[in-house]
Chain A
Amino acid sequence: MQPVLKLDSVTHYFGGLKAVSNFNLDLPEGVLWGLIGPNGAGKTTIFNLITGVYIPTQGKIYFLSEDITRYKPHTVVSRGIARTFQNLRIFPTLTALDNIRIAGHFRMKYGILGATIRSKDFYTSEKELTEKAMHLLELFKLHDRAYSPAKSLPYGELRRLEIARALATDPKLLLLDEPAAGMNPKEVENLMEMILWIRDHFKLTVYLIEHHMKVVMGICERIKVMDFGETIAEGNSSDIQNDPKVIEAYLGRQKNHAKG
């Protein structure tokens, strides 16, 4: 079967720094795969390349067979790829509802004239958008917060809001960058359940970056490991846990940490 997302020998330099080296990926439909690696390995850069934030120095990126390598972020989103960010990127003064509604922007059926004269399309489009956004807020138990500015929400709710916002773009592929960052064990437990539920409920393909080994090992069907931009291992959780290169990458780094 055709992969949903395909990265074909993608390499990316930041000046002289090779942040990603010859990265390959064939992500089949409906899977939940993971990407791990020590700090600075190049994981977030991979997401930035997929979503058009950066254009790779070399290599190609295909989404459902379409070459999206040089697409701008908003075009990538409109094709069906949504993501969250390692460091939350919420619109702080907008209400929770507007944070979600903005994600439906590119599908709105009215333009500046329609907005100005309040056309029929304006009302139907807005009503549909608002109902959909409210439904998402409800699914993520955020409906009480609909009219609160996002900045007034606690951290855990913001994490959920960001995921809900990504889903509001109607994606086929969801990229999650360290969703468990800053969560306590109980929250991590809920998050794992939530990710599985999201994948099934929204019929998505999910690609996950995570430092929390428990999350990755617990829910990812297949895992890729990066270190210094290189792919050093790939397999299911037990393959990875027993791979000497992986152990070295992590333990080696930890030793340095202890020294530093």
Chain B
Amino acid sequence: MKITKLFTNNRKLVLFSVIFYVVVDVLHLTGVLNDYWIQITNVALINIILAVSLNLINGFAGQFSIGHMGFAAVGAYTAGTLTTIIWKLGVANSITKYLLFAVALILAGVAAAIVGYLIGLPTLRLRGDYLAIVTLAFGEIIRVIINATGYVGGPRGLLGIPKLSNFTIIFFVTLLSVIIMRNIVFSTIGRALKSIREDEVASELVGVDITRYKVLAFTIGSFFAGIAGALLCHLLQIAHPTQFGFIGSINVLVMVYIGGAGSISGSIVAAVGLTFLSEFLRLGIDNLNKIAPFPVGPEWRMVVYAVLLVAVMLYRTAGIMGGREFGILVPEEEGKNATGSQA
């Protein structure tokens, strides 16, 4: 199986990841990390997939999409519906349930990719703000359709999804997703995307079929968003239209730009950082409320969060990583060409 090559070609990255995985698992088993923090870690990992996949569209190909959670919704509801139905039949045992989940994840990706392709084809002739508006509308349309579809629970959400996601699965799906997207970025396809971002006319005139590559970026980005959505709903055991609304999409967008448009490393750092920051702030405000002589409402969390975001953007206008990558994420054959190895 060629998949093994994905790991053998990335020894350092895989080694680092496995160490991380083992450490988290040990901390969990020894009770240092409780289930609550494992859950936050899981969400952070899913956010990595969302941020990196949106970065492919916004940061690398330079298109401005702001409806990313719409694609995650397509994946979540596709996979969620499938596993819920089969679960109810009671045919899945402790082994086949993972096979079922694998199939569901792939279908989620494919369904989201098809939608991404169909949206991308007519809309990618639009530029900048116009494209943003269309993707925004798309996200909302998806939400409205879900709300109106009783079969998937409508506004109540899709309930009773089997809990098939766990730390191990989420961790390795995230790792595989990041490696795949990284491999695409560091190839002639990634260069084509970046050239479109830098100058569309010049890109066409050195032989890049720009429409094709814009649609491709959209399709790949949607594919991984769909997988992230499927992981999420099998973790929370519910798919709810509000999870996939505008606010969710903006959150992913913030991760991309805080981390750095055009940097996979940046998206990873920002996805993990912001997920945990948000949790810390919540705990912090709760505790503050207990000791402060006056009430400190939970809304202060968002205020502090927003102020911190503004501060980061002012201090690092190109995001935390700029356009650079951690050396560990740069494939060997890129050698000195990757500005990232300095980061």
Contacts and interface: CB of A to CB of B under 8 A. Distances in A.
Q: How large is the interface on A (under 10, 10 to 19, 20 to 34, 35 or more residues)?
A: 35 or more
B17 to A, nearest CB: 18
A103 B206 contact: yes
B177 to A, nearest CB: 11
A53 interface: yes
Contact of A115 (B5, B187, B203): B187
Contacts of A78: 207
A62 interface: no
A82 B198 CA distance: 19
Contact of B337 (A77, A83, A106, A146): A146
A147 interface: yes
B35 interface: no
Contact of B207 (A93, A97, A105, A110): A105
Given A74-B204, A95-B339, A147-B336, A105 B191 contact: yes
A72 B206 CA distance: 12
Interface string A100-136: 0111111010111001111100110111010000000
Interface residues of B, number: 37
Contacts of A90: 199, 202
A83 B205 contact: yes
A117 B202 contact: no
Q: Is the interface of B mostly helix, strand, loop or mixed?
A: helix
Contacts of B184: 112, 115-116
A38 B198 CA distance: 31
Given A51-B205, A102-B191, A105-B208, A116 B337 contact: no
Interface string B320-335: 0001000000010100
Contact of B208 (A85, A106, A110): A106
Interface string B201-239: 111111111100000100010000000000000000000
Nearest to B3: A117
Given A93-B323, A146-B337, A105 B188 contact: yes
Contacts of A117: 2-3, 5-6, 183
B180 A116 contact: yes
Contacts of B34: none
B204 A118 contact: no
A216 B180 CA distance: 51
A138 to B, nearest CB: 15
Interface centre among A74, A78, A111, A125 (most CB of B within 10 A): A74
B209 A72 contact: yes
A101 B191 CA distance: 8
A93 B262 CA distance: 11
Nearest to A96: B337
A116 B183 contact: yes
Closest 7 CB pairs of A and B: A115-B187, A106-B207, A89-B202, A91-B198, A73-B204, A77-B207, A103-B206
27 contacts: A89-B199, A89-B205, A90-B199, A91-B199, A93-B198, A93-B262, A94-B194, A98-B194, A104-B188, A105-B188, A105-B191, A105-B195, A105-B207, A105-B208, A106-B207, A110-B187, A115-B183, A115-B187, A116-B184, A117-B183, A118-B5, A118-B183, A127-B333, A146-B336, A147-B337, A147-B339, A165-B206
Given A73-B204, A97-B337, A126-B187, 13 more contacts: A74-B209, A77-B204, A82-B205, A94-B195, A98-B194, A102-B192, A102-B195, A106-B207, A122-B187, A126-B188, A146-B336, A147-B337, A147-B339
